[in-house]
Chains A and B, each alone.
Chain A
Amino acid sequence: MTPETISRPDADDQQPRAIARTLTTGDKVFRSLCACAAMVSLFVIGGTAIFLGVKAVPALQEAGIQDFLTTSVWNPTVGDYGVLGLLIGTIIIATVALVVAVPLALGLALFINEYAPASVRRTLTSSVDLLAAMPSIIFGMWGLYALQDHLVGIATWLNAHLSALPFFRLTEPDALLVKSSFITGCVVALMIVPIITSVSRDVMAQCPRTQCEAALALGGSRWGMIREVLLPFGKGGITGAVLLGFGRALGETIAITLVIAFVVEANPNILESGGGSIASLIAIKFPEAQEIEISALIAAGLALFAMTLLVNLAARAIVRRTQIAA
């Protein structure tokens, strides 16, 4: 409000003072310090894009950008690099992970928010947080040595009864079923359950409690309330949560590297041994890589970076829009 808008007849000198916000020197220093700290993350994301881009150039020149994205080879001796198969493999593993993780995570979110008695709820939120804090390598070891034996049985069953679906077929009848994209995806699924659960819990908790109570008061069962009130309300946010989980699954490295039998080509038979992802390519090839191959790995990393960044930003935008709408 400017002083001119208020006019009192007899008091020109009594005009209210404009509120001035003069910052002390200390405040200025403090605020710029905070701004600098906040800039660090901008620098990291921007720097990652720039530095990976610059260092990827030599390999992209040698292999050609088009070949790099449309072929599936990794042959440092002749300088042939192509990541198409691995890009597809990354998406296959992440999709398997989503198919397994989403029902489990949504069930968990509903359980913690709506069903669990207070004592169980505490144990369960701790368990989910602990699952999130578990090192990726522990998931990998456990998946390889403990879970795999049990999943092979399920894989056999899926192949025997659902081979009408093309991705459950095998190239040869007695193909190995260990170290497959399916088993890797199941391990990754457990790693993305916490993020999907916690984000969709936050979204569901924003649903106006009165609406839920109203649905129950009208005689709805708890499932009726969830189906008609909670899920429609949280639809957008839950989609965002699922996308966030997808982003995590795309970037998962060590667990995949440990479990999968790495091949460069895309393997559409998910039950069969062999598969790969960009991140596992980097982890496997990097320790022995020489100059130009390192550049090719950086180019692969750049592709992964772009992919995860897009998925994550889309997910966050969707989640945020739901939260603002609430």
Chain B
Amino acid sequence: MTLLDERAEHDVHPAEPAVDSDEQAPVRPRLLGRRDRIELAVAAAAGLTGSGAMCLVFDWSHPLTYAIWALIIFLLSTYLLARDSQSPVVASDRLVTTLVWTSGVATVLVLVWMIVFVVAKGLPGLSLEFLTTDMASVGPLDDGGGVLHAIVGTVQQMLIASAISIPIAILTAVYLHEVRGRMTGLVRFVIDAMSGLPSIIAGLFIYTIWVLQAGNQPSGMAAGLALAILMIPTVARTAEEMLKTIDDGLRESALALGAPQWRSVMQVVLPTARSGLITASILGVARAIGETAPVLLTAFGSSSTNWSPVNGPQSDLPLFVYQLLRQPNENQIQRAWTGALVLVVLVLVLFVLARIIGERGARARGGSR
């Protein structure tokens, strides 16, 4: 109803650019004038009310159904309104604009939904006790218990993985961008292949050499190795991007002063790229910290706190969550959600940290991104 009314109103004063005396400039279809805004508002109203009416008539109660139909009606009416008042070209442009905006908004909404959901589910179980006890003496039906053993495992495994992978990855980036040896092309190819390596395959690989071949126990060390494999390509690629932003003048000045290449890299290039390299490393850690599958295969998981990364099975946060989630028991599932909350908070902290350091570094380099 509203749709027709508004349409009629428009037909009374069709805005023709040539007639409008105060509008010298040609119509630019990208900019939204007053009329376009009204059209959008009308389309939005049509979508909201139309979908509401359909929900009433067909007795749908699901919010998602409402949203989908509202969007469809909105798209249709924007298209028709613009086609009617301007041209098919403008109409399809507006249609695509709306679709593109929808995909952006939908992504942000999904992300917010996910984080809010985890926080809402996990918060009831969060307490100081949860962070400072392990599950060694806690039966499945008991209250209490916590993630201490998983946090210990996560910290140790991440330290091991970082200690192994970050030097290797940064040296690889230096090889790719500074040394440029004969195998540059091949190495870049392999790093690409590695960045798509399924995490469970990395776990399987370490399992075959660490447990089957070398005869060791599954342990935090093995998990650290598997996570290192996953971190190398992420860190190496980001670090290479960071090295690319360093001005060539700096390198040449160092060489012109008589410095050999290794000193120019170690004392000029890498220190200049420091914040970027730290960002790269943190992003690598943020990727590896959430990996469950390789840890499942290499550290096996355990319910008691194992302070030794080389001796016996260990747990970590994602594995803790995964193993509890597969048990048909409300108490355990609540613990899993709280564990997931701790994990998400860790990832968020790392992510924000990487952003802050990266931005400070970019500003120090003169605002260039």
A residues bordering B, Cβ < 8 Å?
A: 23-24, 26-27, 29-31, 33-38, 40-42, 44-45, 47-48, 51-52, 54-55, 103-104, 107-108, 110-112, 114-116, 120, 123-124, 126-139, 141-142, 145-146, 150, 153-154, 190, 193, 221-224, 226, 244, 247-248, 250-254, 258, 279, 282-283, 286-287, 294, 297-298, 301, 304-305, 308-309, 311-313, 315-316
Contact = CB atoms under 8 A, between A and B. Distances in A.
Given A38-B171, A135-B318, A250 B208 contact: no
Nearest to A48: B205
25 contacts: A23-B260, A26-B262, A40-B168, A44-B194, A44-B229, A45-B197, A48-B205, A127-B107, A135-B347, A137-B290, A137-B292, A137-B318, A137-B340, A137-B343, A142-B118, A222-B93, A222-B97, A224-B89, A251-B197, A254-B292, A258-B322, A279-B293, A282-B204, A286-B297, A308-B197
B172 A42 contact: no
Given A115-B97, A283-B200, A283-B293, A133 B179 contact: no
A131 to B, nearest CB: 6
A40 B204 contact: no
Chain B interface main SS type: helix
Interface size class of B (residues with CB under 8 A): 35 or more
B283 to A, nearest CB: 7
Interface in B87-124: 89-90, 92-93, 95-97, 99-104, 106-108, 110-111, 113-114, 117-118, 121
Contacts of B340: 137-138, 141
Contacts of B209: 47, 51
Contacts of B106: 104
Contact of A41 (B30, B181, B233, B290): B233
Contact of A27 (B118, B213, B262): B262
B24 to A, nearest CB: 17
A139 to B, nearest CB: 8
Interface in B159-212: 167-169, 171-172, 174-176, 178-179, 181, 183, 186-187, 189-202, 204-205, 208-209, 212
A254 B229 contact: no
Nearest to A24: B260
Given A35-B181, A37-B171, A131-B111, A250 B204 contact: no
A128 B79 CA distance: 29
A34 B171 contact: yes
B201 A124 contact: no
Residue of B65, B107, B191, B263 most packed against chain A (CB within 10 A): B107
Contacts of B300: 287
Given A141-B118, A251-B199, 16 more contacts: A24-B260, A31-B181, A34-B171, A45-B197, A48-B202, A110-B100, A112-B104, A133-B290, A146-B117, A221-B30, A222-B29, A301-B201, A304-B200, A312-B193, A313-B192, A313-B193
A188 B100 CA distance: 21
Nearest to B282: A133
Interface of B: 29-30, 62, 64-65, 89-90, 92-93, 95-97, 99-104, 106-108, 110-111, 113-114, 117-118, 121, 167-169, 171-172, 174-176, 178-179, 181, 183, 186-187, 189-202, 204-205, 208-209, 212-213, 229, 232-233, 236, 260-263, 265-266, 283, 286-287, 289-293, 296-297, 300, 318, 321-322, 325, 336-337, 340, 343-344, 347-348, 350-351, 355
Given A35-B181, A45-B194, A136-B290, A52 B65 contact: no
Contacts of B318: 135-137, 254
A35 B183 contact: yes
B172 A34 contact: yes
A301 B202 CA distance: 10
